[in-house]
Structure 1
């Protein structure tokens, strides 16, 4: 099996392949890779072939009445985040940084009234709401969109905010794997009355590249480590400041310290499903979040609004700098 990695950066000390390389895919799964020779990818759900039209309901698009290859065929990067405002801001931010003409980003999915999607050159910026249910709906339709559009070797980033574990607020965390609420490295989803456990690991080679790029940015520290994805903001994350709490502060600290010893660097609410679904689709992805609080020292987010806004730009800066490396390679 021939390697089909389209390397963005090179370093002989890094992993030799991305996790969706056909050589790795065949070794891990024993099945043909979803990737085609030209970098496009196939959807594994054969039932979709029976549809005259596939309606991407939550995006307000479909693969019959819209020319998706013309609209999105050049997409190389998708960046997802929680709020509509943040992702419109990212679209403007990346356009300015990469000198892409974009006076005012246009919401391409405004008819759905669900999410907001902007396109700047080969970059999609789209919000996914908060938590796995909202994020997973958006992500699955984006995966279908990219396949129908015949996008080549797309990379999906999730940027966001999180609670840090034993690291300073304002730090950036690149997720290496994701834990669910029972500390398993799986995304657990009930299907037809039975629980499915889908592995939730991120691409180590991609993470190595991103960390290298992040290390060039001054003013904050970037870590690679595990991420816990909770299904709840309060009790599900061991907080003491929710409306319900049936455990002690000692119980909370014992749990947080257990996570720290496991190598977990942060807690958020999307990573397990994000890692599992992109991996299952045969796509590269990375989860890059900035910490707003050190959970060993408290639960409340106390920095000033100005400080939070500055910190919130850090994942944007890292992703934009990574994308700029792609442009630099194209120009050589």
Structure 2
């Protein structure tokens, strides 16, 4: 058996993640440059093979707090002797492992999360992870929803309300369908505490390439559309089923779909964009609302682990 065949057999052994790239089989070593890991020196199966949930959010601070919360909420740190240490040897992203949960920052926007997803998909592949779920957790602008509402994405759509992620490759625009897991979305909705004083709902999520003009705001440095144009566009989005707006969901949905990984997006709304553009909640409200998706995910994790007899 030659080296390439041996490597392919090792990677395929027990792994449910198969990145659609035949050239990976021909690489003796793969350096995951932006998270600072490599297949030849970092013992990826031993360190990451038990990962079941990969949770991503924009802020490094938020994802460290999420790791601390999960460690306390689920007791993984105590059970597995896990030390809360940033596993990225670069400063591009942060990554914490708490039991079977990875908490990773993805930065802001689709170019940033795209780079991370390429490397995380390869990471769980090389580690031999089984039935892994990728979840983006974050904040967003709502449409017709009370601020503080948590939205579990049904379908991720682009600025034209299409269920597609479009990226230029080799001088051509490649359109990939967005594919999130309906099963995971249903289980996330079911995990909501009915006694909580906020709503968890579902709807389409629009992902944009910009926070200001791309989201029809009129408070950026440049604005060449009118208030009436803005309202008409956001109303059209609402009528197309869009209930929240953010900047990473279509990329995650398309890449998870291409790699056949179950994906989900869970975001809390900070304002109703039909009523204004400025984010004006208090720091206390921000902290409380930001915690709501975290609590939902903790309850989802517990439900899933109980099904497997692991909690």
Range of TM-score over shorter length: over 0.9
Match runs of 1:252-267 below 5 Å:
252-267=230-245
Other structure's SS at 1:240 match? coil
- Following superposition, the deviation at residue 104 of structure 1 comes to 5.7
Q: How many residues align?
A: 297
Q: Does 1:69 align with 2:49?
A: no
Structure 2, unpaired ranges of 5+: 1-10
- Following superposition, the deviation at residue 306 of structure 1 comes to 0.3
Correspondence for 1:188? 166
Other structure's SS at 1:331 match? coil
Conserved? CA contact 2:15–2:125, under 8 Å? no
Match runs of 1:127-138 below 5 Å:
127-138=105-116
Match of 1:314 among 292, 302, 308: 292
Q: Does 1:222 align with 2:200?
A: yes
Correspondence for 2:70? 94
Correspondence for 2:257? 279
- Structure 2 CA distance, aligned partners of 1:272 and 1:101? 32
- Structure 2 CA distance, aligned partners of 1:209 and 1:101? 25
- Following superposition, the deviation at residue 37 of structure 1 comes to 9.1
Other structure's SS at 2:76 match? coil
Correspondence for 1:166? 144
Q: Does 1:107 align with 2:83?
A: no
Correspondence for 1:298? 276
Conserved? CA contact 2:20–2:258, under 8 Å? no
Conserved? CA contact 1:176–1:201, under 8 Å? no
Other structure's SS at 2:114 match? helix
- Following superposition, the deviation at residue 182 of structure 1 comes to 2.4
Match of 1:57 among 12, 24, 33: 33
- Structure 1 CA distance, aligned partners of 2:205 and 2:150? 12
Mark the CA change 1:292 to 1:104 in structure 2 (over 3 Å): closer, same or farther: farther
TM-score by length of 1: 0.86
Structure 1, unpaired ranges of 5+: 1-34
Other structure's SS at 1:196 match? strand
**Structure 1 residue runs of 4 or more that deviate by more than 3 Å after TM superposition:** 35-39
